[in-house]
Chains A and B, each alone.
Chain A
Amino acid sequence: MSNKKEAKKEIKKDRAVDIKFLLMDLPRFFATISFGLIYRPKRMYISKKRPDKKSGALVIANHSSFTDPVLIGISMGRRMWYLAGELAMGNKLKSTLLTGCGCIGIDRNISDIDGIRKAVNVMKRGHYLLMFPQGRLERDGEIKKLKSGAVLMAYQAGVPILPVYVKKGAKWYNRAIVMVGEEFRISDYCDKKMPSMADIERLTDIAAEKMHECEHAYYDYIKAHSKGRKVPKVN
């Protein structure tokens, strides 16, 4: 019991304004102003059930633009960590800056257990971690097959998965939409203490379905507000 209380205290301390998060909070502050003015991101929920504010979560999203991490980061209203490919981390200076901003580098050429451990620990401490489980940029915004590493990390951290669909407006004056889905836990779909690889593959497909739900909700919203404008088709 006391351990739980201590953990909660630790989470509260970790979420507070602190000098150690300056490199994360300062760019987030400027991004909120600049991106807020340019893209005017609108956060919407597909259901009335809101994500648990006290818990950490693995946020999974589609990746169609380089602005996606920023748009999601400023829309969720919480400090956010990001999972980035080792290539995106670049040279030592860029890597140091990005790490300060909350990026966790993952080397996709190897089974990067050190990187995964860092990411899992961040979520265990009650934070949000954003990852793009498709593994790369898909300019058309289409949700393709997800990598099963996302489910594996959520299971290891014991946190829910929060699906999100993000899309910039078709025209410069259209608002960007961040459609937030219903969070789900591994235990909602698998009652085993330790899920098998087959379970992890199945749960990855469920995560993809949840992302599709957000995508459909996005297009339904656009359709309802398009006032006769042509709406792109959903695949």
Chain B
Amino acid sequence: MDTLDRLKKLLSEVYDGAIDTDGITEETGLVEDIGMKSIAMLYMAMSIEGEFNVSLTNDDLPKMRTVGDIIKLIEERSK
């Protein structure tokens, strides 16, 4: 399973299937398209840390605007 699929699975769990994960691409905006609020963003960031075994900081969160940004961040951190 690649990073995008794992992220889709994570998003599906966070939103309990309330969002259509099939339509999610790297260009999907977290706030604009998914409607993610700050608390959901925090939850997502913590879940990413657990799932991908990476560490995120306060500076990383504003950079996470699209799904592609998250993938980039994960790949950077897991090197």
B46 and A113 contact, CB distance less than 8 A: yes
Q: Which residue of B lies closest to A110 (CB)?
A: B58
Binary CB contact string for chain B from 43 to 79 against chain A (1 if under 8 A, 0 otherwise)? 1011100000000111011100000000000000000
Contacts of A107 in B (CB 8 A): 58
What is the CB-to-nearest-CB distance from A67 to chain B, in angstroms, rounded to a whole number? 29
Indicate whether A113 sits within 8 Å of B56 (C-beta atoms), given known contacts A152-B39, A194-B47. Answer: yes
Q: Which residue of A lies closest to B40 (CB)?
A: A197
Q: Tell yes or no: A199 within 8 A of B by CB.
A: yes
Contacts of A197 in B (CB 8 A): 14-16, 39-40, 43
Q: How far is the CA of A149 from the CA of B39 in the complex (A)?
A: 7
Q: Tell yes or no: B18 within 8 A of A by CB.
A: yes
A111 and B47 contact, CB distance less than 8 A: no
A196 and B13 contact, CB distance less than 8 A: yes
Total interface residues on B, using CB and 8 Å? 20
Q: Which residue of A lies closest to B39 (CB)?
A: A148
A149 and B16 contact, CB distance less than 8 A: no
Q: How far is the CA of A110 from the CA of B40 in the complex (A)?
A: 13
Binary CB contact string for chain A from 184 to 216 against chain B (1 if under 8 A, 0 otherwise)? 000000000010111110000000000000000
A110 and B18 contact, CB distance less than 8 A: no
Which residues 5-56 of B sit at the A interface, judged by CB distance below 8 A?
A: 13-16, 18, 38-43, 45-47, 56
Q: Tell yes or no: A156 within 8 A of B by CB.
A: yes
Given B13, B18, B58, which contacts A113 in the complex, CB threshold below 8 Å? Answer: B58
Q: How far is the CA of A203 from the CA of B13 in the complex (A)?
A: 16
Contacts of A198 in B (CB 8 A): 15-16, 18
Chain A interface mostly: helix
Contacts of A149 in B (CB 8 A): 39, 42
Given B15, B38, B39, B57, which contacts A196 in the complex, CB threshold below 8 Å? Answer: B15
Contacts of A156 in B (CB 8 A): 46
Given A111, A114, A147, A199, which contacts B16 in the complex, CB threshold below 8 Å? Answer: A199
B45 and A111 contact, CB distance less than 8 A: yes
Which residues 63-116 of A sit at the B interface, judged by CB distance below 8 A?
A: 107, 110-114, 116
Q: How far is the CA of A197 from the CA of B45 in the complex (A)?
A: 13
Contacts of B39 in A (CB 8 A): 111, 147-149, 152, 197, 200
B16 and A113 contact, CB distance less than 8 A: no
A113 and B47 contact, CB distance less than 8 A: no
Q: How far is the CA of A114 from the CA of B46 in the complex (A)?
A: 10
- A residues near B (Cβ < 8 Å) are 107, 110-114, 116, 147-149, 152, 156, 194, 196-200
Would you mind naming 17 contact pairs between A and B with Cβ atoms under 8 Å apart? A107-B58, A110-B62, A111-B38, A112-B58, A113-B42, A113-B46, A114-B58, A116-B42, A147-B39, A152-B39, A156-B46, A196-B14, A196-B15, A196-B18, A197-B14, A197-B15, A198-B18
Sorted nearest first, the 7 A-B pairs with minimum C-beta distance are A196-B16, A111-B42, A111-B61, A114-B58, A194-B13, A111-B38, A111-B41
